[in-house]
């Protein structure tokens, strides 16, 4: 049986779901791949809980349940000053110990460090892991949308980095783009509806996703250079208008100003969609007029859609569509990424 | 630089396009992955052309052009009784020599055997390669749609077998299904429009694709047990009606009989589509009534569409759509598969 040691950073909804998926998939992974995922450490923003012997032991299924219960109640791992045979490190010790555990494991058995947090604080650890030639799996968008300097350090060994769940949750977006690139296809244009605007009226979440895709295509861009059209004007922003005022008066003003644009688009046979467009050196997020009859134009509800135009998909785009959010789907994408790294472990 | 030795079987449109893609992607592969694909042998149905030293030499770019020209003129490799430093083996020698070359390379550097033929004759060689722990990449559907006994021998080492281009050409169908399976998602139902009915009125091509997907999901089925609804009745088959008669009289009769079904579907708000359905232990190919408003219902032109319903994609399916045929796209899918095996080479 091939053993893949894992350190998980981030015990929010996605991280906890991942731990539960790992436990429930043990039989499938053993039977289909001869692989066992061995969780050797779990960290939240303050603390690291690690197994007594990182080379032979693992977080048992009962402890996984306990940790998930603790975290879903809003407690910190640091509330466990001790827990069974496990070691608990807090505050400044946390980063030192993750790096130390990683260094030992990368040199011996190999290691995957999985980042399901939503924090920028993990970037330093991840860069060290990349430098050591360890594997990295991200659901966290922040490390990939920091400066180009940080980005370059992270993608040092591209085959050891997976991040499907940073764009469109478990949808096979990153992997499909990577396949087109490795087959020498030329990607002309990507248009995507990659977030639910109800959660992201300011557009920053979709801007991060757009940046991740643009950098994958070779654009050397910084986040603040992406043109983002917010769905609300500055005078309705969180610093200028209260939530109550925004809901009572702001939203109806937005509806009025958009109604004109909707009508104008309709007169061209088009509809408005809030999308990212990546084309040549262009990377933008905003409202676009799109053909009513395209996959994006027909989009209803909360699905994500990506249209890729390339040499191979020139007349009609390659379309990937489906649920692009949710802890279950996001964690499933992370787990598929981990399994896809199995050939790098012995 | 990591070198991946390849033997290509099949020099039809897809095989020749693959050789040309390999040449034109050399820089991308070197730069992005540090990988060089080294073609050590090319075989058609009668002959094998192999390089003088399989451990160090490769088919040079000029020879690739020459071979492609020869094959696109309809000649056989056997017309090359000798060609530069290359060795040419014909007829019964061919299989013996492919097996011998494969055996040497698998034991030393590793090897990928790529089958772009449309023949059942490659099954024996492929099984030997699988048994030796070599890598296999298929665009050829026949080896995966032979008996379950043959299938089991071929999928002996699932991570060393890739076959994206057997279903939907380069569309990321197989890989997306494999990711769902490795993440422990439960697939309830797959519905796909996977061929252009103008090329496949009898439905056997799409039946093979359906079988490949069904076996991937764990169904242990034989090709002849798949219920295939032909678009023409037996009395219009190739043995019962001439092509002239079929075109002059047969087609209009088909149109009439389908018109009733189209009308009945429309009265239910549905449309007719020629699809495969894989669900539980069911695997069928035929005309189905589907919602006008689904991805399959909206389908126009020659795109392929796959809808996957699973635990993660339950309300709305995961949809993959795009061009599902063509030598360029098919060969690109094969090339992406080869690159995806790179971690198995040292």
Span A232-290, pLDDT tens digits? 787 888 778 888 888 888 888 888 888 889 999 999 999 999 999 999 999 999 999 99
Q: Do B316 and A301 touch (CB under 8 A)?
A: yes
Interface ipTM: 0.95
Measure CB to CB from residue B320 to each of A180, A320, A340 and give the nearest one: A320
Same domain (yes/no): A139, A8? yes
Q: CB within 8 A of B249, min separation 6: which ones?
A: none
Same domain (yes/no): A182, A229? yes
Q: Let me know how long chain A is.
A: 346
Within 8 A of A318 by CB-CB distance, chain B residues are 171, 320-323
Contacts 24+ apart (CB under 8 A), B122-131: B122/B9, B122/B10, B123/B150, B123/B154, B124/B95, B125/B9, B125/B95, B125/B98, B125/B99, B126/B154, B127/B153, B127/B154, B128/B99, B128/B102, B128/B103, B129/B102, B130/B154, B130/B155, B130/B156, B130/B157, B130/B160, B130/B161, B131/B156
| Number of domains comprising chain A | 2
Mutate to test the interface with A, among B14, B175, B179 (most CBs of A within 10 A): B179
Which chain A residue shows the shortest CA-CA distance from B157?
Answer: A33
pLDDT at res. B199: 60
Gyration radius from chain B CA atoms: 22
- Residue B209 annotated in active site: yes
Same domain (yes/no): B186, B316? yes
For residue B108, the tally of other CB atoms under 10 A from its CB is 11
Q: What is the pLDDT of residues A52-109, one digit of tens each?
A: 999 999 999 999 999 999 999 999 998 887 788 999 999 888 889 999 999 999 999 9
pLDDT at res. B245: 86
Mutate to test the interface with B, among A22, A35, A292, A322 (most CBs of B within 10 A): A322
Q: Which is catalytic among the residues B71, B142, B153, B209? A: B209
Within 8 A of B346 by CB-CB distance, chain A residues are none
DSSP string, B131-189: HTT-EEEE--SGGGSS-HHHHHHHTSSGGGEE-GGGSSTTSSHHHHHHHHHHTT--EEE
Same domain (yes/no): B243, B332? no
CA-CA distance, B174 to B170, in Å (whole number)? 10
Within 8 A of B329 by CB-CB distance, chain A residues are 312-313
**Of the candidate ranges A208-212, A251-255, A303-307, B85-89, the one whose mean pLDDT is the lowest:** A251-255
- Of the candidates B4, B175, B17, the one whose C-alpha atom is nearest the C-alpha of residue A184 is B17
A44-A48-A51 Cα angle (round to 5): 130
- Residue A75, φ and ψ in degrees, nearest 5: -80, 165
Same domain (yes/no): A61, A120? yes
Same domain (yes/no): B226, B133? no
For residue A226, the tally of other CB atoms under 10 A from its CB is 23
Within 8 A of B330 by CB-CB distance, chain A residues are none
pLDDT at res. B247: 83
Same domain (yes/no): A145, A247? no
Same domain (yes/no): B189, B126? no
* Among B residues 118-157, those touching chain A with beta carbons less than 8 Å apart: none
Measure CB to CB from residue B312 to each of A158, A185, A332 and give the nearest one: A332
Q: Do B170 and A312 touch (CB under 8 A)?
A: yes
Same domain (yes/no): A28, A152? yes
Question: CB-based contact (8 Å) between A316 and chain B?
Answer: yes
Mutate to test the interface with A, among B184, B188, B299, B333 (most CBs of A within 10 A): B184
Q: Do A180 and B336 touch (CB under 8 A)?
A: yes
Measure CB to CB from residue A319 to each of B182, B322, B340 and give the nearest one: B322
- Supply the pTM of this predicted model: 0.95
Smallest CA–CA distance, residue B322 to chain A, in Å, is: 5
Smallest CA–CA distance, residue B189 to chain A, in Å, is: 15
Same domain (yes/no): A47, A89? yes
Which chain B residue shows the shortest CA-CA distance from A319?
Answer: B321
Query: Across chain A, where does the E strand assignment appear?
Result: 2-9, 35-43, 47-50, 87-90, 112-115, 135-138, 161-162, 187-193, 227-228, 270-279, 282-291, 303-310, 318-323
Chain A / chain B CB contacts < 8 angstroms: 144
* Among A residues 166-185, those touching chain B with beta carbons less than 8 Å apart: 170-172, 175-176, 179-185
What CATH number should be reported for the domain holding residue B112? Answer: 3.40.50.720
What CATH number should be reported for the domain holding residue A305? Answer: 3.30.360.10
Domain with B60, as residue range(s), is 2-170+328-344
Smallest CA–CA distance, residue B287 to chain A, in Å, is: 24
Question: CB-based contact (8 Å) between B328 and chain A?
Answer: yes
For tokens 């043109």, what's the residue? A227
Question: CB-based contact (8 Å) between B56 and chain A?
Answer: no
Per-residue pLDDT of chain B (346 residues; tens, 9 = 90+): 999 999 999 999 999 999 999 999 999 999 999 999 999 999 999 999 999 999 999 999 999 999 999 999 999 998 887 788 999 999 888 889 999 999 999 999 999 999 999 999 999 999 999 999 999 999 999 999 999 999 999 999 999 999 999 999 999 999 999 999 999 999 999 999 998 855 666 788 999 999 999 999 999 999 999 999 887 787 888 778 888 888 888 888 888 888 889 999 999 999 999 999 999 999 999 999 999 989 999 987 789 999 999 999 998 999 999 999 999 999 999 999 999 999 999 8
CA-CA distance, B258 to B261, in Å (whole number)? 5
Same domain (yes/no): A138, A259? no
Q: Which is catalytic among the residues A209, A227, A264, A292? A: A209
Percentage of residues in chain A having pLDDT higher than 90: 80
Question: CB-based contact (8 Å) between B291 and chain A?
Answer: no
Measure CB to CB from residue B175 to each of A32, A172, A303 and give the nearest one: A172
Question: CB-based contact (8 Å) between A301 and chain B?
Answer: yes
Smallest CA–CA distance, residue B159 to chain A, in Å, is: 8
Mutate to test the interface with B, among A155, A183, A309 (most CBs of B within 10 A): A183
Smallest CA–CA distance, residue A176 to chain B, in Å, is: 6
Same domain (yes/no): A139, A16? yes
């Amino acid at each position: 049986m091939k053993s893949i040691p894992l350190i998980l950073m981030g015990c929010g909804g996605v991280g906890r779901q991942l731990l539960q998926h790992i436990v429930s998939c043990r039989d499938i992974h053993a039977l289909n791949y001869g692989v066992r995922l061995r969780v050797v450490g779990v960290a939240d923003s303050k603390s690291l809980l690690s197994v007594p012997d990182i080379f032979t032991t693992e977080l048992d299924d009962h402890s996984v349940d306990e940790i998930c219960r603790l975290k879903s109640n809003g407690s910190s791992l640091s509330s466990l000053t001790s827990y069974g045979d496990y070691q608990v490190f807090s505050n400044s010790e946390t980063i030192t110990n993750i790096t130390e555990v990683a260094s030992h494991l990368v040199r011996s058995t190999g290691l995957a460090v999985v980042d399901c947090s939503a924090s920028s604080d993990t970037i330093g650890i991840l860069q060290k892991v990349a430098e050591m030639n360890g594997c990295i799996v991200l659901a966290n968008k922040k490390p990939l949308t920091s400066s180009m300097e940080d980005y370059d350090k992270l993608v040092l060994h591209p085959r050891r980095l997976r991040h499907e769940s940073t764009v469109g949750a478990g949808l096979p977006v990153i992997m499909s783009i990577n396949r087109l690139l490795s087959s020498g296809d030329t990607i002309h244009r990507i248009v995507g509806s990659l977030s639910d605007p109800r959660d992201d009226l300011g557009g920053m979440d979709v801007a991060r996703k757009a940046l991740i895709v643009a950098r994958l295509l070779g654009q050397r861009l910084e986040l603040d250079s992406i043109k983002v059209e917010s769905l609300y004007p500055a005078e309705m922003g969180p610093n200028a208008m209260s939530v109550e005022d925004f809901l009572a008066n702001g939203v109806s003003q937005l509806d009025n100003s958009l109604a004109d644009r909707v009508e104008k688009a309709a007169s061209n046979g088009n509809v408005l969609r809030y999308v990212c467009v990546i084309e040549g050196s262009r990377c933008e997020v905003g409202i676009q007029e799109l053909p009513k009859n395209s996959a994006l134009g027909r989009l209803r509800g909360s699905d994500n859609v990506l249209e890729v135009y390339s040499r191979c998909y020139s007349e009609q785009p390659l379309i990937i569509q489906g649920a692009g959010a949710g802890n279950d789907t996001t964690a499933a994408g992370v787990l598929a990424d981990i399994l896809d790294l199995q050939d790098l472990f012995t």
